[in-house]
Amino acid sequence: MSPGSIISISEHAIWTSLWLSLPLLGVALIVGVLISIFQAATQINEMTLSFVPKILAMALVAIVAGPWMLQLMMSFTTHLFQQIPQLISQ
């Protein structure tokens, strides 16, 4: 295995993990900001008020984006397995 192939595989793995985490982290960020604005406007400082909506929104996004995330992971894994003979021969 050459250093270039290791860097290429690592780069692909990092980009795949970023794409996989983007929907969940994005929704958590948006819901968190909206709840913070609501809490600042109403002066309600309840911790569960910010925690429960985030969990529910992330669960909904995981259900909706789950097939896409699974397909992305499967395509990365199959691509990696298909590269094994080329990596061994280098």
Domain coordinates in residue numbering, the chain: 3-89
pLDDT score at 5? 86
Q: What is the pLDDT of residue 34?
A: 94
14-28, 37-51, 61-75: which has the minimum mean pLDDT? 37-51
Whether the pLDDT of residue 90 is over 80: the answer is no
Helices (H) and strands (E) in the chain, counts: 3, 0
Which of 34, 32, 21, 15 shows the shortest CA–CA distance to 61?
21
Q: How many CB atoms lie within 10 A of CB 61?
A: 18
Burial class, 21, CB count within 10 angstroms (exposed 0-12 / middle 13-18 / buried 19+): exposed
- Residue 41 pLDDT: 92
**Average confidence (pLDDT) over 55-73:** 96
Given this model, what pLDDT does residue 87 score? 82
